[in-house]
Amino acid sequence: MIAASFRIRGKRWIMGALVLVVLLTGIFAILRSVGAQAAPEQKQKATKKSYAAGTNEERIHFLTGYGWEVEEEPVEIIEVIVPEEFDQVYQDYNAIQKKQGLDLEKYSGRRCKRYTYSVTNYPDANFTVRANLLVYEGKIIGGDVCAIEESGFMHGFAMENREAG
Per-10-residue mean pLDDT of the chain, 165 residues long, equals 64 54 52 50 42 95 96 98 96 96 96 97 91 97 94 89 49
- Give the residue among 126, 122, 114 at the shortest CA–CA distance from 155: 122
CB 133 within 8 A of CB 56: no
Q: Which residues of 90-104 are buried (b: 16+ CB within 10 A; e: fewer)?
A: beebbebbeebebeb
pTM reported for the whole predicted model: 0.68
